[in-house]
Structure 1
Amino acid sequence: MKNRLGFLLFFSLVTFSSFGQNKETALPDPLIFNNGKKVNNAREWTARREELLQTFRSEMYGTSPGRPKDMRFEVFDHDKNALNGKATRKQVTIHIRENGKEAKFDLLIYIPNKAKHPVPAIIGINFIGNQAINADPGIKLTEAWVENSKMFPCAVDGKATDACRGVNAKQWQVDSILDAGFALATMYREEIASDRKEEMFKTGVHTLYPELQNREDNFGTIAAWAWALSRGMDYLETDKDINAKKVAVFGFSRLGKAALWAGASDTRFALVLSNESGAGGAKLFHRGVGENIRRLNTVFPHWYAKSFRKYMDQDTVLPFDQHFIVDLIAPRPVYIASAENDKGSDPEGEFATAKEADVIYRFFKTNGLPVKEIPALNKSVMGQIGYHIRTGGHDVTSFDWKQFLIFSNLRLQK
C-alpha cells in the first residue's frame, strides 16, 4: 500500500504536443522514480524498471503467477514434410498442473526446412484456433469454444469444424514468414483463457490460480495470454530447431496488447511486434482519443485487473501510460504498426507512444525512433523502434508482415 500511495502521490510530468489536438497534455516521466528522484544511469534504470513493472501489475494488468513447477511438453505431431515439404510441423500440448488441477493448450509450430537450423522464430496468439491460420489438414482442430461470426462463419455450436481450416490465413502469411527464414509458433486464445464475459476466469489457466482472483490486482485475461506466451517460450528453449535467443513476440488488436505486456515482462523475447494494439496496448491514453479506459473496463471487464477500474474517465490524467510499456522493452527492438482508418486504435496515439519511448531508447544509446513526425502512409521507419501507418482498417495485411519481417531480420541478425 505504501508503494502504491507513493506512486500516486509522486510522479513527475513532462509535456508533449498531442497529435490531432491543439493542446498540451501531461505525461509521466519514465526517468523519475516514484519518490521524485531522477534516474541517472543504467544501474538505476534497473531499479526504476522494476518499479514500473510493479505499477502495471498492481494498477492495470494484474499479478501473474511465476513459471509453473509442474509443467510438461507433449509433442504429439512431428511432420517433416508439411506444406508440401516446405516446413516441418510440430504440435505440442503444454500441460500445467497447479493446486490439484490441470490446464493445457496446444502450440503449433512451422519450421522452414530450407533455412539453416536453429532458426529465429515468431510466436503469437491467434483468434479462431490453430487450424484457422492455414488450411493444412494436419493441424489439430481445437476442442475449445470457437465463435461463429459474420467474418468466420465456420463453427457449429461453438465447436471448430473442417470449414474453419485456413479461414484466418490471410492475417498470418505463413509462406512469407517461412520464406524469410523464421519459424512460426502460435496458440489459441480460448484454450489459454476465455475471452467471453460469461466465462471469464472460469476456464483454462485461470482455473489453476483461484487465489489470484479475489484481490484488486487479480490475474486478468490480457495478463493470462501474455503469461501463456512465456510458457510457449519455455518450450521453444527446449527445441533444438529454434534459436531461443532470437524469438519475436507478435500480436494483433487485443492480442497485440498481450504481446506488448509479454515483451515488457519477459526479457527473453528478443523483439516485439505490435499490430494495431490500441488502447491498453501501444496508444497513449493521455490523448483522450479513441477507445478509452471506461470502455475497456465495461465491455471487456476480464481483460485487466479490478484495480484498473478506478481510472475510468481519468485517461488524460493517468499517473502512468503506455509509453512506459515500450520503455520496459528497451533496449530490445520493438515495432508498432497502425492503420489509417483504425480510429479506435488511434494511430496518432500509437505513434506518440513510439516517440515518447524514444527517450529511453536514446538513454540506452540506440538510434530509437528515427523520425520526429508521423511518417507518410505506407512508409516504414526502422530504428531500434520501428513504425508505420498504412492505408486501410483494423487488420493484419501482407504490407504489415513485409515490414515486420524486414525489421526482424535487420534487428535479430545483429
Structure 2
Amino acid sequence: MQHKTIACFIFLFTILFNTHKSSAQVPAGTNVDESKVKPYTLPDPLQMQDGKKVTNVNDWNNIQRPYIYHLFEENVYGRIPRIKLTQTFRVRETGDAIGGLATRKQIRIYLSTADTSAFIDLLLYLPKSKTKAPVFVGYNFNGNQTVQADPAIFISENPLRDSRLKNADGTASDSTRGIASNSWDVKNIIKNGIGLVTAYYGDIEVDTKDGWQTGIRTKLKDELKIQPAEWSAISAWAWGLMRIMDYLEQDSNIDAKHVALFGHSRLGKTALWTGATDQRFAMVISNESGEGGAALARRNYGETIKDLNERFPHWFVGKYRTYNNNASAMPVDQHMLLSLIAPRPLYVASAEDDQWSDPKGEFLSAVNAASVYALFGKKGLGTDKMPPLNTSVGNTIRYHERTGKHAVTEFDWQQYIKFVNEQFK
C-alpha cells in the first residue's frame, strides 16, 4: 500500500509541473541550435513615434510608457478593464502553521456583489516574527491545497484543467494535498521574515480554450463593460492579481508597499503583464516565462508565437496570431515589456534544461531593458554575457540560469528571498 501511495504521488507531481515543454520534449523542427538563430533587430524602447529618443523620466512616464503599454494591449494581451467593482473580503479560517512560525489565513474575495460565484480564495502564510511583513504573491496551478499537505487548507471549488487530478465534478481530488510543496519553499520564506500569498488561477478562468465561457470574462462582462474577445486569459488572470492586491492593501499584517509578484511558466507571463499594468507591485519575478513572457520573440529559438497560438489560443488576444510567422512585424518585443517594470526591481530566471523557454532569449531581454532603468538611475544586469550556471547576476534587474528542468526549485527561492531582503530593506 505504501508503494502505491508513493507511486501515486510521483505521478501527480509529474503532471503538476509538466506545465511547459522541457528540452527533452521539444517538437521536431524547433530550433534549439544557437548557430541557427537568424539576425534580428530589436525595437528601441526609448525611440518615440516622432523619431526622438526619450532622455528623461518625465517623457518616459507620460509619453513613451503609455504608448508601449498600449501596443502590448493591442497586439499581445488585450486590454484590462479598469472599472472598480464592489468587492468584499471574508475571513474563512485562521490558525498556526509551519511549526508555529507562521499564521495561516484563508480569505475569500468576492469580486462582485452581483455574482457570488465570482471569487478568489486566498491562502496566506504570514511570519509571526513581524507585525507587518513584505510578501510574495503568486498563483498556483491546481489549488491552494497543493501548496502544503495541511488538512486545514480548503480544497479548490473551481474546476481543474487536468482531468487526472480532479473528481467527477471537476473539482480537485483530496489526493492533491501538498503535491506542489516542493515548489513553494514556505518554511524558508517565513524564516526570512517574508509572507506568502497564493491563489488558484482557475478561480478567475480555467486554463482551457473555452475557459472564458465560465470565467470572469463571461460572468462579469456586463459589469466590467468589456467583451470576452477584447482581452485574454493572461489579462483576466492579471486582473485577478490586481484584485488580490486590493485585499493586501487593507490587511494590517501585510506591508503592501513591499509586495513581490511571482509567477512560473504561463503564470510568469502573467506576472510580467500584471506588473506592467499595476505599479502597486513593488517587485516582479519571472520564473521561466519563455515565449510571450520574458524571452525575445524575434529570436527563432525554442517556442514560437505560432506554437503558443496553436496550443494556447486563449492566452493572448486575437491579433497576436497575425504574427505567427513573422515576429519581426510585431511593433514590440518582450524586452519592452520588461522595461515597463522600471524602476522597480525585476528578476528573470531560466533553467538549463528548459531550452523550449529560450534561456538566452530571456537573458537578452533583461539586458535590453536596462536602458529604461538607466533613466531612473538604476543599474541593470551589468553584463551582456550569459553568466555561469547557478550564478545570480545584476542589480535592480537580476538574472540566473540554473541547472535542471522547467520547475521552481529551492535554489530559485533562495535567490528570490535574497533579492527581496536586499531590495526591500
| Fold shared by both chains (TM-score > 0.5) | yes
More displaced 10-residue stretch of structure 1: 156-165 or 276-285? 156-165
TM-align CA RMSD: 1.9
* Counterpart in the other structure of 2:411: 399
Verify: 1:55 aligned to 2:71, yes or no.
yes
* The one of 270, 274, 291 aligned to 2:282: 270
Question: 366, 380, 384: which one pairs with 1:372?
Answer: 384
Corresponding residue number in structure 2 for 1:124: 138
Structure 2 counterpart of 1:12: none
Q: How does 1:351-370 map to 2 (within 5 A)?
A: 351-370=363-382
Count of matched residue pairs: 389
Q: Secondary structure at the match of 1:285?
A: coil
Partner of 2:8: none
Give the conservation status (yes or no) of the 8 Å contact 2:37–2:299.
no
CA shift, 1:137, in A, is: 1.2
Matches of residues 108-187 of structure 1 in structure 2 within 5 Å? 108-114=123-129, 116-148=130-162, 154-157=165-168, 158-187=170-199
Deviation at 1:349, TM superposition (A): 0.3
In the TM superposition, structure 1's runs of 4+ consecutive aligned residues that sit over 6 Å from their partners are 98-101
Aligned-residue sequence identity (percent) comes to 43
Q: Does residue 195 of the first structure (1) align with residue 211 of the second (2)? A: no
* CA displacement 1:320-353 (0-9 Å, x = unmatched): 1000111000010100000011011000000010
Could you report, residue by residue, the CA deviation over 1:375-409 in whole angstroms, capped at 9, with x for unpaired residues? 00111113111100011111111011111111111
Bigger RCO (CA 8 Å, 6+ sep): 2
Separation in 2, partners of 1:119, 1:273: 18
State the distance in 2 between where 1:67 and 1:336 align: 31
- 1:100 CA drift (Å): 6.3
Unpaired segments ≥5 residues, structure 2? 1-32
Tell whether the 8 Å contact from 2:288 to 2:349 is kept in structure 1 after alignment: yes
Deviation of 1:139 (Å):
0.7
Q: How does 1:18-97 map to 2 (within 5 A)?
A: 23-46=38-61, 47-79=63-95, 81-97=96-112
Amino acid at match of 1:25: Y
Match of 1:207 among 214, 219, 230: 219
Please say if 1:219 is aligned against 2:237: no
Shift of 1:154: 4.2
Q: 1:214 to 1:399 in 2, by over 3 A?
A: closer
Structure 2: distance between partners of 1:19 and 1:380: 22
1:120 partner amino acid: P
Q: Is the 8 A contact 1:128 1:146 kept in 2?
A: yes
Contact 2:139 / 2:201 at 8 angstroms: preserved in 1? yes
**Distance across 1 between alignment mates of 2:46 and 2:213:** 36
SS in structure 1 of the partner of residue 378 of structure 2: coil
- Per-residue CA deviation, residues 34-77 of structure 1 (Å, 9 max, x unaligned), is 23232121111012101111111111110111153211111111
Q: Structure 1 residues 137 and 343, CA, compared in 2 at 3 Å: closer, same or farther?
A: same
Cα deviation, 1:359-389, whole Å, max 9, x if unaligned, reads 1112221121122201001111131111000
Match of 1:10 in 2: none
- Cα displacement string for residues 170-195 of structure 1 (whole angstroms, at most 9, x for unaligned residues): 11111111111111000101111111
In the TM superposition, 1:324-339 aligns within 5 A as 324-339=336-351
Q: Which amino acid aligns with 2:66?
A: E
Q: Report the Cα distance in structure 2 between the residues aligned to 1:314 and 1:212, rounded to whole angstroms.
A: 29
3-state SS of paired residue (2:333): coil
**Helix, strand or coil at the partner of 1:78:** strand
> Which structure dedicates a bigger proportion of its chain to strand?
1
Cα distance in structure 1, aligned partners of 2:228 and 2:236: 16
For residues 191-216 of structure 1, the C-alpha deviation after alignment (integer angstroms, 9 at most, x for no partner) is: 1111111333432454201652365x
Q: What is the alpha-carbon distance in structure 1 between the residues aligned to residue 328 and residue 73 of structure 2?
A: 20
CA contact (8 A) 1:130 1:139 kept: yes
Q: Does structure 2 conserve the Cα–Cα contact (< 8 Å) formed by 1:382 and 1:407?
A: no
Q: 1:183 to 1:148 in 2, by over 3 A?
A: same
Match for residue 390 of structure 1?
402
| Aligned counterparts of 2:236 and 2:79: Cα–Cα separation in 1 | 10
SS of the residue corresponding to residue 356 of structure 2 reads: helix
Deviation at 1:146, TM superposition (A): 2.2
Matched, 1:236 2:252: no
Question: Structure 1's 22 and 204: CA in aligned 2 closer, same or farther, altered over 3 A?
Answer: closer
**Corresponding residue for 2:257?**
245
**Aligned residues of 2:150 and 2:178 also touching (Cα < 8 A):** yes
How far, CA to CA, are the matches of 2:116 and 2:81 in structure 1? 15
Query: Residue 19 of structure 1: CA displacement?
Result: 6.5
